[in-house]
Amino acid sequence: MKKKRLPKFIFNFFCFLVYVFLLAPIVVILLSSLTTTEYIVFPPKGLTLRWYTELVNHPEFMSSFALSITVAFGTAIIATAIGTLASLAVVRREFKGKTAVVQLVGSPLLIPSVVFGVALLQFYSWIGLAASPLALVIGHIILTVPFVMRLVVASLVGFDRSIESAAMNLGAGPLKVFFQITLPVIKSGVIAGMIFAFITSFDDLTVALFIVSTDVVTLPVRIYTYMQYQYDPIITSVSSIMIIFTVILMVIIERILGVGKVFSSK
Amino acid sequence: MQPVMGTEQDLLLKQKKKNLNRKRLDTWLLLLPTLGIFLFFFLLPLFFLFITSFKTFDPGSGIGSEWTLQNYIKFISDPFYLGVVWRTVKIALITTLVTIIISYPVAFQISKAKGRAKNYLTLLVLSPLLISMVIRCYGWVIILSNNGVVNNTLMSLGWIDTPLTLLYTEFSVVIGMVHVLFPYMVLSIMGSIERIDPSVIRASQNLGASSFRTFFSVLLPLTLPGIFAGSVMVFSLSVSSFVTPAILGGPQVKVMSYLTYEQVAVMLNWPYGGAIGFLLIFIATVTIIAYSKILARSEKGVAIQ
């Protein structure tokens, strides 16, 4: 038994180092946003919330934050709605060209987003669609529908359809059956898809970088371009707010669904 | 009686046909929104970009009117660009390898954990997926820059006199990439570890095999499919990723995705940017196909064993 203890210690220590590696950049950002210095330093020197109050002088970050949330929200709602409908067709119906449809809808996962961003920018400029929340939402729908469909298809596959026919035999119309029977059963897949869509859209830099204009700028693009010219702690306070926002979102979701459920339906 | 039955059957048949037609109609209604958006805003733009990549460059409008293969020829005949391809693939290979090495023990630990501990560890491993990639890369900038955490620590310990150049190197890109792609590998390996029947491991131990022997002759072969599947994902995501090389590598460490961006956004050379983009798609697709061939073979191998 004694012989086994040392390797086990090394094993656990290795895993511990990996967890430190995973959390390092996030912890570094959160802590260095509290520095009193004019430059970014870790560990922070002194403690102040000055870089958070300083944000008042940077309304552009606030408007970008609002835009990002609007776009992510729109994307999540639309991508989940149309992705769920398409999943129903893919799982429950037989039709010609099903494989082609499945491959087409899955292909944004294979196409580098840079190339899609370039293609979309060229297409938008040809059809005359200027940078707008709508233009961003359309691009993000393409990026997120594959995730939504994966999650919803997974929750539809094990679905016991006899409860639907029971409801129909009892006189429920197709819409009623969908909203009162089908949707509640596949709820966790649908909600997980919605969360993924929201996060993917909120996080996207690559596609948005091509679509934004000077006055329509999402938060990741704002941070990216700001970083290229300045290196002050404002960035760390903005980033910290984003991290805290995500954590709060996760806690709410945890309360509603349970983490286990969200991730197991993956 | 006979004719009446006939009409009844006819009626039933008609009803069935009508139902079938209606069903076919709502199938397409269900698909319409998704399919419409994908055809119009995904397939069509990519098709146009593909056409553009065969056009000449016009300094005024970006896209000339002549047809040419020059964009592709220029890329595959210039040592500089071939160097970029090699760097892209090299970074992806190293990332994949490092990710396998560091995620295997973690995947093992999580699969063996129980109850609460398992939930928390899973959340910890997946949490990077949920926090913005731009922000995480930015965290690495703070850690790796010339007056960053690593250099300050090493200098205050007196181990080095001048800061090491860590940022804007292939090293920093790999670090960022491993951090971003780690969860995919862990999930994939965890899936295959959890599918193993624990009695197989016990059998190996009861027959007197050492932990090492058990690992290399039982555990590793049984989890190879998971490692391969994770590798395909990590490799292809790494080859095509843009955010990490753009923030942690920048113009100093050019990879294919950055080159595509630069040609279009900075040089305004749409045809050339398009051509590089499609070569990138080609490389990513070829590796995925090659990998999945190997995967199919290795799964057969496992089944035979």
Same domain, B174 and B220: yes
- Pick the more confident residue, A262 or B243: B243
- The proportion of chain A whose per-residue pLDDT surpasses 90, expressed as a percent, equals 42
Q: What is the mean pLDDT of residues A46-51?
A: 84
Reference B149, options B130, B172, B131; nearest CA is: B172
Residue A54 is predicted with a pLDDT of 84
Same domain, B133 and B217: yes
Inter-chain touch B243–A205, beta carbons under 8 Å: yes
- The structure's pTM equals 0.87
Does the residue B60 lie in any domain?
no
Same domain, B220 and B88: yes
Give the number of other Cβ atoms within 10 Å of residue B86's Cβ: 11
pLDDT tens figures, A195-204: 889 989 999 9
Same domain, B129 and B203: yes
Contacts of A111 in chain B (CB under 8 A): 46, 240, 281
Contact yes or no for B190/B177 (Cβ under 8 A) = no
Contacts of B147 in chain A (CB under 8 A): 41
- ipTM of this predicted structure: 0.87
Q: What is the dihedral of CA B215, B220, B102, B166, to 10 degrees?
A: 110
Distance between CA atoms of B202 and B193, rounded to whole angstroms? Answer: 14
Instruction: Provide the 3-class DSSP secondary structure of residue B63.
Output: strand
B247 inside 8 A of chain A by CB: yes
User: What domains lie within chain A, and their CATH numbers?
Assistant: 61-229 (1.10.3720.10)
Q: From residue A3, give the alpha-carbon distance in Å to each of B61, B186, B210.
A: 72, 28, 12
Distance between CA atoms of A29 and A40, rounded to whole angstroms? Answer: 9
CB proximity under 8 Å: B 59-88 to A: none
CB proximity under 8 Å: B 138-197 to A: 138-143, 147-149, 179, 182, 187
A193 inside 8 A of chain B by CB: no
- Split into its structural domains, chain B has a count of 2
pLDDT of chain B along its 305 residues, tens only?
445 555 777 777 777 777 777 777 788 889 999 999 999 999 999 999 999 999 998 887 778 888 989 899 999 999 999 999 999 999 999 999 999 999 999 999 998 888 888 888 888 888 777 888 899 999 999 999 888 888 888 888 888 888 888 999 999 999 999 999 999 999 889 988 888 888 887 888 788 777 777 788 888 888 888 898 888 889 989 998 999 999 999 889 999 999 999 999 888 899 999 999 999 999 888 887 887 777 677 665 554 33
Residue A117 is predicted with a pLDDT of 95
Inter-chain touch A32–B142, beta carbons under 8 Å: yes
Inter-chain touch B142–A236, beta carbons under 8 Å: yes
Phi, psi of B56 (to 5 degrees): -80, 165
A93 inside 8 A of chain B by CB: yes
Does the residue B85 lie in any domain?
yes
Does the residue B68 lie in any domain?
no
* Structural domain of B161: 77-304
Does the residue B57 lie in any domain?
no
Contacts of B149 in chain A (CB under 8 A): 28, 42
Instruction: Provide the 3-class DSSP secondary structure of residue B58.
Output: strand
Residue B300 is predicted with a pLDDT of 56
Contacts of A141 in chain B (CB under 8 A): 37, 41
Contact yes or no for B164/B154 (Cβ under 8 A) = yes
Inter-chain touch B28–A95, beta carbons under 8 Å: yes
Distance between CA atoms of B46 and B53, rounded to whole angstroms? Answer: 10
A7 inside 8 A of chain B by CB: yes
Residue A167 is predicted with a pLDDT of 87
CB proximity under 8 Å: A 63-92 to B: 81-83, 85-86, 88-89
Same domain, B181 and B125: yes
Contact yes or no for B79/B162 (Cβ under 8 A) = no
- For chain B, what's the residue count? 305
Contact yes or no for A88/A129 (Cβ under 8 A) = no
Same domain, B42 and B98: no
Distance between CA atoms of A200 and B243, rounded to whole angstroms? Answer: 13
Is residue A246 very low, low, confident or very high in pLDDT (cuts 50, 70, 90)? confident
Give the number of other Cβ atoms within 10 Å of residue A263's Cβ: 15
User: Which of A19, A235, A250 is opposite residue B138, by nearest beta carbon?
Assistant: A235
Give the list of residues 6+ apart from residue B112 with CB closer than 8 angstroms, or none. Answer: none
Does the residue B246 lie in any domain?
yes
CATH value at residue B178: 1.10.3720.10
Same domain, B82 and B200: yes
Same domain, B90 and B201: yes
CA A253 centroid distance within chain: 13
Same domain, B42 and B92: no
Give the list of residues 6+ apart from residue A243 with CB closer than 8 angstroms, or none. Answer: A26, A29, A30, B131, B132, B135
- Taking CB atoms and an 8 Å cut-off, how many pairs form between chains A and B? 224
Inter-chain touch A224–B30, beta carbons under 8 Å: no
Inter-chain touch A115–B43, beta carbons under 8 Å: no
Contacts of A202 in chain B (CB under 8 A): 132
Q: Above 60 in pLDDT, residue A12? A: yes
Does the residue B66 lie in any domain?
no
Same domain, B143 and B89: yes
User: Which of B125, B261, B281 is opposite residue A111, by nearest beta carbon?
Assistant: B281
Same domain, B83 and B40: no
Residue B222 is predicted with a pLDDT of 85
Residue B298 is predicted with a pLDDT of 63
> B167-172 — which CB contacts under 8 Å span 24+ positions?
B167/B141, B167/B248, B168/B248, B168/B249, B168/B250, B168/B252, B168/B253, B169/B249, B169/B252, B169/B253, B170/B87, B170/B90, B170/B91, B170/B249, B170/B253, B172/B140, B172/B144, B172/B248, B172/B249, B172/B253
* Distance to chain A for B269, nearest Cα, Å: 11
Does the residue B130 lie in any domain?
yes
Give the list of residues 6+ apart from residue A114 with CB closer than 8 angstroms, or none. Answer: A206, B240, B242, B257, B260, B261, B277, B280
Residue B303 is predicted with a pLDDT of 44
Does the residue B258 lie in any domain?
yes
Distance between CA atoms of B134 and A221, rounded to whole angstroms? Answer: 9
One-letter amino acid identity for B110? I
Q: Name the percent of chain A in helix, strand, coil, to the closest 5.
A: 80, 0, 20
Same domain, B103 and B26: no
Contact yes or no for B277/B265 (Cβ under 8 A) = no
B15, containing H or E segment: helix B2-38
pLDDT tens figures, A92-146: 888 888 889 998 998 888 889 999 999 999 999 999 988 899 999 999 999 999 9
